[in-house]
């Protein structure tokens, strides 16, 4: 339980096709919370290469995206801040679109026309994994003062025997509402593995994003004072999460209609 509380403080192919869960709001019609797709690369710098080389490759990639009218794909790079030996990579690239068809079209265009720009990435980094996730947003973040740089944390979570995600959905929504009522500026999401993995040792990833480490620390303080009691009320005996890995994230491209 201690791991769960610490994590909250800080599947299948069907999921990527688009799962929807009714989100109940008093006085409003039910609104479907539909999963959106996200791809993730885990990469290491090649010998003699570093962040400046990745920046140069990304600049050329953005020029390619502008030329090809890619205005519906957002991308971020993440570097470890709080991490352990299992995070044996230098940088993560995450990117996504509002639906899987759109992301697939961007990927098709990249494969067909981006070979020259891809050479820049290949010179700078080697990416040993490429996976895709279906993402449900559980708490919308406020408008960021600096949307180009944020802090993102990931925890791996497993449900207890006999508990399904349906049993957790409303408690997770309530947790997000509770955190917002107590001053949290975090955005919160659930990630389900969809493609590129196999043999995952988690049922889902619990993901939070803050403007900065100070805001993340404020959530930690509130949790230490009283938030743990609410977390215990909502999740005791239902789910177990490990401690969070935290990354400093830099926006590389923002879709026209993206709000994080």
The first and second tokens of residue 189, run together, are 């999401």
Paired with 125 in beta bridges are 45
The pair of structure tokens assigned to 172 is 């997770």
Phi (first) and psi of residue 254, to 5 degrees:
-125, 125
Residue 217 backbone phi and psi in degrees, to 5: -65, -35
Task: Tell me what pLDDT residue 167 has.
Answer: 96
pLDDT band at 121 (very low <50, low <70, confident <90, very high): very high
pLDDT band, residue 20 (cuts 50/70/90): very low
Q: What is the rounded distance in angstroms from the CA atom of residue 55 to the CA atom of residue 142?
A: 28
* pLDDT of 114 higher than 70: yes
Instruction: Convert the pLDDT of each residue in 125-151 to its tens digit.
Output: 999 999 999 999 999 998 888 889 999
pLDDT given at position 164:
94
**Band of residue 23 on the pLDDT scale cut at 50, 70, 90:** very low
For residue range 25-40, what is the model confidence (pLDDT) as tens digits?
A: 333 445 668 899 999 9
Give per-residue pLDDT as tens, 159-170.
Answer: 999 999 999 999
Residue 158 pLDDT > 90 = yes
Q: How many helices (H) and strands (E) does the chain have?
A: 8, 11
In angstroms, the CA 241 to CA 9 distance is: 11
Q: Are 208 and 152 in contact (CB under 8 A)?
A: yes
Q: Give the confidence band of 260 by pLDDT, cuts at 50, 70, 90.
A: low
Domain 2-252 in this protein, CATH class = alpha beta
Please report the DSSP string for 106-168 in residue order: HHHHHHHH-HHHHHHHHHHEEEEEEEEEEEEEEEPPPPPSSTTEEEEEEEEEEEPTT--HHHH
* 171 — pLDDT class (breaks 50, 70, 90): very high
The predicted pLDDT at position 116 comes to 96
């Amino acid at each position: 339980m201690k791991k769960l509380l610490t994590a909250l403080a800080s599947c299948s192919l069907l999921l990527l096709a688009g799962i929807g869960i009714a989100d109940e709001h008093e006085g409003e019609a039910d609104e479907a919370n539909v999963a959106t797709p996200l791809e993730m690369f885990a990469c290491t710098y090649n010998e003699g290469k570093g962040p400046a080389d990745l920046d140069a490759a990304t600049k050329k990639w953005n020029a390619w995206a502008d030329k090809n009218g890619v205005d519906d794909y957002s991308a971020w790079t993440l570097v470890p801040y709080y991490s352990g030996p299992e995070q044996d990579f230098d940088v993560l690239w995450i990117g996504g679109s509002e639906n899987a068809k759109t992301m697939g079209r961007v990927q098709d265009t990249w494969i067909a026309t981006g070979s020259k720009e891809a050479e820049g990435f290949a010179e700078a980094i080697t990416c040993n994994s490429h996976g895709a996730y279906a993402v449900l947003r559980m708490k919308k973040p406020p408008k960021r003062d600096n949307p180009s740089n944020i802090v993102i944390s990931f925890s791996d979570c497993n449900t207890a025997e006999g508990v399904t995600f349906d049993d957790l959905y409303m408690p997770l929504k309530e947790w997000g509402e509770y955190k917002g009522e107590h001053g949290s500026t975090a955005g919160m999401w659930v990630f389900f593995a969809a493609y590129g993995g196999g043999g995952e040792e988690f049922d889902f990833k619990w993901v939070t994003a803050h403007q900065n480490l100070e805001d993340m620390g404020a959530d930690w303080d509130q949790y230490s004072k009283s938030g743990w009691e609410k977390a215990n009320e909502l999740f005791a005996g239902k789910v177990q999460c490990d401690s969070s890995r935290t990354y400093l994230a830099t926006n590389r491209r923002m879709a026209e209609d993206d709000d994080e």
